[in-house]
């Protein structure tokens, strides 16, 4: 079915169960879909923008309330909306990292964390993961010591992923933050895979910045995200413009430099705001999501030769699976080669596994109903049996 002459209707969420690793938490809520219909035009949230003319002051739709409520919900002091988590990294780094400063990321950091630091000219160093694919306080402490000794400077920032994108493992954030603060290093939490799907308490974790992704985990349109910080850093990261035009003498009120004034001015902002009540509610049911994740992981592990490379039992819905000795053995002799798995899944009403992947791949069960979890488990095991793999 066509949406326009050249654009297909995207109806995969209506026709299939989607287990794509990055799409699960960003599916809109019903309220966000309705708000998106009403606010689809460009500057749609600006109808009632009044002095001092800034996004976080808009009362109708209730964007100002959202900013206050979201900060409270994350147990941080101040929140701003940004066009994606990556723009949050960029805003923080641009505010507190100088050219040549050492900065710490981890062996599981996303490329956008690196890129934000590269853009600032930082001297980037990684904290290694341990043998269980975890970033630990012990490794962070050792790396801080090494980098400080090698460079003669204490790192200006330490990035840590709450949940990493490679394994979906939960990391030792509170311990790492405690260690970093002993060296006066501010800590940025990459919450792209946590904020909006599982409980996040910034103060309990002891971090200085929480970055969330609207389109990855807050049921919002892309690109959307947030930066949350403490009163200590709010005046630095959200500093207002001081510039004055040398001919016109113009000044620009309370526009924030790192936000480039306003950020999300239409469907992205209203989508985040509309989903927020449901998002706050859904994180309370995280245990059920984890249970469903384990149900699927167990069903896959019942296929002989299959290994979960993420932590087991699962503590998150994003999972990395190794099927080199199961589905990949089938791929070696199947007429569709590596495409047999995604093809067979699609025939069973399931999409989201990268076509051709039969070795190491990822999936995400977030937001599926119990009935859909059952269909996914049954499909993997049926496909295994059809291809002569043993299922225990």
Q: Does 383 bind other proteins (CB under 8 A)?
A: no
The smaller minimum CB distance to other proteins, of residues 5 and 371, is found at 371
Using CB under 8 A as the binding rule, whether residue 372 contacts other proteins is answered as: yes
Residue 215, strand partner residues: none
Beta bridge partners of 228: 79, 210
Shortest spacing between CB 11 and other proteins, in angstroms? 9
Q: Which is nearer to other proteins, 22 or 375 (CB)?
A: 375
Compare residues 8 and 14 and give the one whose CB is closer to other proteins. Answer: 14
The three-state secondary structure class of 55 is helix
If one asks whether residue 98 binds other proteins (CB under 8 A), the answer comes out as: no
203 Ramachandran zone, left/alpha/beta (phi>0; psi -120 to 50): alpha
The values of phi and psi at residue 269, to 5°, are: -65, -45
Q: 322 pairs with which residues across the strands? A: 307, 360
User: Which residues touch 178 (CB under 8 Å, ≥6 apart)?
Assistant: 137, 206
15 binds other proteins (CB under 8 A): yes
Residues in contact with other proteins, shown as a per-residue x/- string from 31 to 50 under the rule CB under 8 A: --xx--xx------------
Using the contact rule CB under 8 A, the part of the chain among 25-33, 146-154, 195-203, 277-285 near other proteins is 25-33
Which range touches other proteins (CB under 8 A), out of 7-15, 170-178, 209-217, 231-239? Answer: 7-15
- Binding of other proteins at residue 369 (CB under 8 A)? yes
3-class DSSP assignment, residue 189: strand
Considering the complex, what minimum distance in angstroms separates the CB of residue 237 from other proteins? 37
Q: Which stretch binds other proteins (CB under 8 A): 10-18, 220-228, 289-297, 357-365?
A: 10-18
Binding mask 326-365 toward other proteins (x if CB under 8 A, else -) reads ----------------------xxx---------------
Residue 30, interface with other proteins (CB under 8 A)? Answer: yes
Contact (Cβ atoms closer than 8 angstroms) between residue 221 and residue 36 = yes
H helices within the chain, ranges in order? 12-15, 30-38, 63-73, 85-96, 111-119, 137-151, 173-182, 202-205, 214-217, 231-237, 267-282, 286-301, 327-333, 340-347, 370-386
Task: Name residues whose C-beta falls within 8 Å of residue 350's C-beta, 6 or more positions apart in sequence.
Answer: 16, 17, 18, 19, 375, 376, 379
Q: Which residues bind other proteins (CB under 8 A)?
A: 13-17, 27, 30, 33-34, 37-38, 348-350, 369, 371-372, 375
């Amino acid at each position: 079915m066509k949406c326009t002459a050249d654009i297909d209707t995207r109806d995969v969420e209506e026709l299939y169960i989607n287990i794509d690793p990055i799409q699960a938490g960003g599916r809109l809520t019903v309220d966000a879909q309705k708000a998106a219909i009403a606010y689809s035009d460009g500057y749609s949230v600006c109808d009632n923008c009044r002095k001092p003319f800034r996004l976080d002051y808009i009362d109708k739709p209730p964007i100002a309330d959202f900013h206050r409520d979201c900060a409270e919900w994350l147990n941080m002091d101040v929140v701003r909306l940004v066009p994606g988590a990556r723009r949050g990294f960029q805003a923080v780094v641009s505010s507190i990292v100088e050219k040549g400063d050492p900065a710490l990321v981890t062996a599981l950091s996303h490329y956008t964390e690196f890129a934000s630091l590269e853009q600032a000219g930082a001297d980037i160093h990684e904290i290694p993961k341990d043998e269980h694919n975890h970033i630990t306080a012990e490794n962070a402490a050792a790396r801080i010591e090494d980098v400080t000794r090698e460079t003669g400077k204490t790192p200006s920032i330490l990035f840590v992923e709450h949940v990493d994108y490679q394994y979906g493992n939960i990391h030792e954030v509170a311990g790492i933050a405690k260690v970093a603060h002993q060296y006066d290093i501010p800590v940025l939490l990459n919450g792209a895979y946590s904020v909006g799907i599982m409980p996040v308490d910034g103060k309990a974790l002891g971090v200085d910045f929480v970055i969330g992704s609207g389109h990855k985990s807050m049921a919002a349109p892309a690109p959307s995200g947030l930066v949350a910080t403490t009163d200590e850093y709010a005046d630095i990261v959200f500093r207002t413009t001081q510039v004055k035009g040398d001919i016109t003498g113009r000044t620009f009120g309370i526009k924030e430099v790192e936000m480039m004034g306003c950020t999300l001015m239409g469907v992205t902002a209203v989508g985040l705001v509309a989903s927020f009540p449901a998002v706050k509610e859904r994180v309370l049911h995280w245990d059920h999501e984890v249970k469903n994740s384990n149900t699927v992981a167990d069903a896959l592990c019942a296929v002989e030769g299959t290994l979960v490379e993420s932590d087991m039992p699962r503590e998150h819905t994003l999972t990395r699976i190794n099927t080199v000795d199961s589905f990949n053995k089938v791929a070696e002799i199947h007429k569709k080669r590596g495409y047999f798995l995604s093809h067979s899944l699609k025939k069973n009403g399931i999409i989201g596994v990268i076509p051709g992947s039969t070795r190491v791949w990822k999936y995400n069960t977030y937001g599926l109903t119990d009935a859909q979890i059952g269909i996914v488990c049954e499909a993997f095991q049926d496909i295994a049996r059809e291809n002569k793999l043993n299922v225990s």
